[in-house]
Amino acid sequence: MTTTTLSASSTPSNGSQWAVETHGLTKRFGDNVAVNGVELLVPRGCAFGYLGPNGAGKTTLIRVLLGLTHADAGSMSLLGYPVPKHRDAALARVGAIVDEPRFHGHLTGRQNLRILAAAREPAARARIEPSLERVGILHRADDRVSKYSMGMRQRLGVAACLIGDPQLLILDEPMNGLDPAGMHEMRDMILSLVAEGRTVVLSSHLLDEVERTCDAVAIVDRGKIIRQGPISELLAGASLALHVECSEPDRARALLDATTIGGAIEVGQLGLGITLPAGTARDVIAEINRVLVEGGIAVYRLQQIQASLESWFLQVTSRLGASE
Amino acid sequence: MTTTSDDDAAAGSAPVAARRVGASRDRRGSGVPTWSMITTRFMELRKRRGLMVALMLVTIGIPTVFLVIRLLLHGFAPHSYGPAGGYSIFTGLVSGVLYVFGFIVAATLGATAGSIDLTEGMFRHLVVTGRSRLAIYVARIPAGLAIIVPLVAVGFTIVCAVCVFAAPTRLNFDGVNVPVNLSRAGLATWAADHPDEVICDFSFRIGPSSPIAPAANSVPCGNGPNNGPRIVKGGPGPQAQPQATPAQIREAARLIADQDYSDYARQFLYPSTSLMVRSGLWLELEAVIGFVVGLGLGSLIGQRTVAVIIMIVLEVILTPILSRARIPHLSNLQRAVVGLATAHLTPGGLPVIGGGGGGPGGNGGNHALLPESTTVAVCVILAWLIGWTILGAWRMMTRDT
C-alpha cells in the first residue's frame, strides 16, 4: 500500500472515551433475538475485534449501530453522540463496510465514490484521490466496478470509508476476497489507521487476523457479548496446555492420574497432551516433570502450548454452548 | 426503537457545541439534497447505457422512424402517399404515441431511480454517510426529471418540426382540396365556384323542404342513386325533384359550405403554435406524473420490474377501462385515477385519450369519459404527485437495509 496521504480529522473529540458504547441494546426479528441486551464498550484509538460464530448477531449489531435497522430496546452512542438522536453528527465521522461491499457496477470506482462524497461534506470530494491511492486501486479507478474482483471491491469499500475522514471505522469482514498479500496490506492499513488515532472495529471470522491486528476484542454468541477486553488479558484467562513427549505414555498418564495435579490428560503416540485450568501456577509444570522422571519415564520434551485467540474463542463459545 | 433515552448513553459526554459543529456543518440531517447529490444522481442514471438507449428509442426513435418513413414514401411516391407532417399526423402522434410511451418511459426511469440503490447495494453506503434518507430520496426527483423532461421535449420537437415543415400545402376537407384559413364568407364564395365538389363530397344535412334538395339531387356525382348526390341525409329522394339551375346549384353549395364551416374551421394544415405549446406542456405533465409515481412505487416495492409492470397495466389497461366505464357507486373512485384526470386536461384540438376516439376537431370523444371538472382533475394530479412522493420517501426512511 502507499504511504499515508490522509490524516485523522482535526475535529476536536467530544470528550467521550468510548468510540462505541451500547447499553442493553436489543434487536428482535419476530421471536428470534438477534442482539440481546448487548453492553459493548469500544475504547477510542484502538483496533477492536468483534468476533462470533456465524449467526451470532455480529452484522445485526453493526446495522443497528449504523442506523440501517432500528433497535428494539437499549441505548447506544458513537463517538459520544447518542444515536439515533444525533445520528447525522455521529455518522459524519464514521466509515463503515457492512457485509460484502456492493456498488453501482456500471459506474467506475471513482464515480461511485463521487456519489458517496456528495452525500458527505464538501471536503469529501477532495479525499477521493488519496483514498483510492491509499487502498491501492488508483490505477483502476476509472474502470467500471463490474470488472472489479471481490478483493478490489473490498478495497473500494475501504476507500468509501476513508473519504469521510472517519474517526471510527467499522469493517465487516474486510479480509473477504483478499489474497494473502492483500490481507497483509489490509492489516498494515488498519494498523496505520489506528496509528493515526482512528478507531477500527473489525468484525471477522478470521481469528488469526484479528489476533494479529486488534488490541481488544469482544466475543458475541447468540446475540450476547460473553467476553470483552484486551486480548492479552483475555488470553491470560485461558487454560494452560502442555505437550509432553515421553516414553510409555500410558504409564505416564497413570502416574499423573495418581497425583493431585488435575487437568485433562490425553494419550498420544508420542506422549501426552495435558490441559490445565486457567490460572494454574507454573510450578505445576515442574511438578509434572518431577513425577514422570521419578516414575522412570523418559521425558524427551515438555512444551507449553501458547494459548491462541482461536483456541480461546472455541473454548469460550463451546463452553457456553455446553452450559445451556 | 430504543426504549431508553438516547441521551443516556452519552451521559452528557457530547458537548452541545461539538454536536452543533458536526450537525450543522453540512446540514446532513436536512431533508433538502445538496446540488452535488442531485448532479451525481443524474450522472448515475445517465450512465445506464441500456436504460438510456431504451428511453431514447421510445421517446425519440419511434416517432422519428415513423416520420422518416413517411417522408421517404412521400418523397418517392407523392401521389400515393400523403405528406409526412400536418395537423392530423401531429394529433395522432401526440395523443397516440408520445402520451402513452412518454408515461411508460418516465415510469420506467422513476422505478429505476427508486429501487436501484437497494438492489445494487449502494443504499447502505449512502445511509452510513449520515445523510438524511429523505434528502437521498428527494435528490432523485430533479435528477430524473432532468433526464426525462428533455427526452420528451426532443421527441416532441421532432414531431412538431416535421408536422410543420412537411405539412400538406392544401387542406383536404372531406376528400376535397380546399384553401386553408378561409372565412365563412370566403368558404361560401369558394364553394359557389366549386359546387359539384362541394355537393358531391361535403357532408351535409337537408330536409324535405330544404332549398338545397333540388340542386343536390340534380348534380351527377357518379356514385349516388340515379347519379344523385353521394351523401344525402334525410333527403326526400331524387326522383321527385326537378332539375336545378346553375344558380340554384351554386346557392346550394354556399349553404352547404355555411353548414360545414364550423368543422372546416377546425381543420389546419399544421398545428398552431398555441396547440404545440399546450400539447408539449401536457406531455411533460404526463411524463412528470409517470416519473414521480414510478419513483414512489419503485421505492415502496424495492424493485424495478414489478413497479414497471404495474405502471404499464395502470396506463394501458386500467385507465382506459376506468375512464369510460360507468360503475355504480364507484364513480368518485374512478375519478381518482390519474389517467382520467390528465385526459380531461387534454388540450383542445387533440383527440381525448381514452375518450373513445374523437378526431382532429378535438374533444370529440370527451363525452365518453367519466365527467370530471378541471379543478377536480388538477387536485387528483396533485394528490398523486404528493401522495406517491410521501409514500416513497416514507418507505425509504423506514426501510431496514
DSSP string computed for B269-291: SS--HHHHHHHHHHHHHHHHHHH
* A28 vs B220 pLDDT, higher one: A28
The C-alpha of A138 sits at a distance from chain B's nearest C-alpha, in angstroms, of 20
Q: What is the pLDDT of residues B136-194, one digit of tens each?
A: 999 999 999 999 999 999 999 999 999 988 888 777 777 788 887 788 888 889 888 98
The rounded distance, in Å, linking the Cα atoms of B385 and B380 is 9
The C-alpha of A44 sits at a distance from chain B's nearest C-alpha, in angstroms, of 14
Residue of B53, B129, B400 for testing the chain A interface, max A β-carbons within 10 Å: B129
B349 within 8 A of B91, measured Cβ to Cβ: yes
Contact B18 A74 (CB under 8 A): no
Give pLDDT < 50 ranges for chain A. Answer: 1-13, 321-324
Contact B43 A111 (CB under 8 A): yes
Grid coordinates given for A55: 449467526
B48 Ramachandran zone, left/alpha/beta (phi>0; psi -120 to 50): beta
**How crowded is residue A102: how many other Cβ atoms within 10 Å of its Cβ?**
18
pLDDT of the residue at A229: 86
Residue ranges covered by each domain of chain B:
15-169+270-398, 181-265
Contact A85 B6 (CB under 8 A): yes
pLDDT of the residue at A14: 61
pLDDT of the residue at B106: 96
Burial (CB count <10 Å: 0-12, 13-18, 19+), residue B336 = middle
A41 touches chain B (CB under 8 A): no
Q: What is the mean pLDDT of residues B216-240?
A: 52
The C-alpha of B401 sits at a distance from chain A's nearest C-alpha, in angstroms, of 5
Contact B130 A89 (CB under 8 A): yes
Q: Residue holding cell 385515477? A: B337
- Average pLDDT of the residues of chain B: 82
Contact A86 B23 (CB under 8 A): yes
B235 Ramachandran zone, left/alpha/beta (phi>0; psi -120 to 50): beta
Query: Which segment, B21-25, B137-141, B347-351, is predicted with the most confidence on average?
Result: B137-141
- Partners of residue B1 in chain A, C-beta under 8 Å: 70-72
Q: Is the ipTM of this complex over 0.95?
A: no
Query: How many Cα atoms sit within 13 Å of A10 on the Cβ side?
Result: 0
pLDDT of the residue at A293: 92
A133 Ramachandran zone, left/alpha/beta (phi>0; psi -120 to 50): alpha
Which residue, among A17, A56, A59, A61, has the nearest Cα to A39 in the 3D structure?
A61
Contact B21 A11 (CB under 8 A): yes
pLDDT of the residue at A4: 33
CA A139 centroid distance within chain = 30
pLDDT-based confidence at B234, cuts 50/70/90? very low
Contact B14 A24 (CB under 8 A): no
Q: Which long-range contacts (CB under 8 A, 24 or more apart) does A146-150 make?
A: A146/A105, A146/A106, A148/A109, A149/A177, A150/A100, A150/A176, A150/A177
Q: Is the pLDDT of residue B16 over 50?
A: no
Amino acid identity at B376: V
Residue B161 sits at φ, ψ, to 5 deg, of -60, -45
A62 touches chain B (CB under 8 A): no
pLDDT of the residue at B9: 39
Contact B136 A115 (CB under 8 A): no
Residue of B128, B133, B304, B400 for testing the chain A interface, max A β-carbons within 10 Å: B128
pLDDT of the residue at B238: 47
The C-alpha of B42 sits at a distance from chain A's nearest C-alpha, in angstroms, of 10
A30 touches chain B (CB under 8 A): no
Contact B47 A111 (CB under 8 A): yes
Q: Is the pLDDT of residue B357 over 50?
A: no
Is pTM beyond 0.95? Reply is: no
pLDDT of the residue at B325: 82
The C-alpha of B131 sits at a distance from chain A's nearest C-alpha, in angstroms, of 6
In chain A the domains, ranked by start, together with CATH numbers, are: 18-228 (3.40.50.300), 239-306 (3.30.70.270)
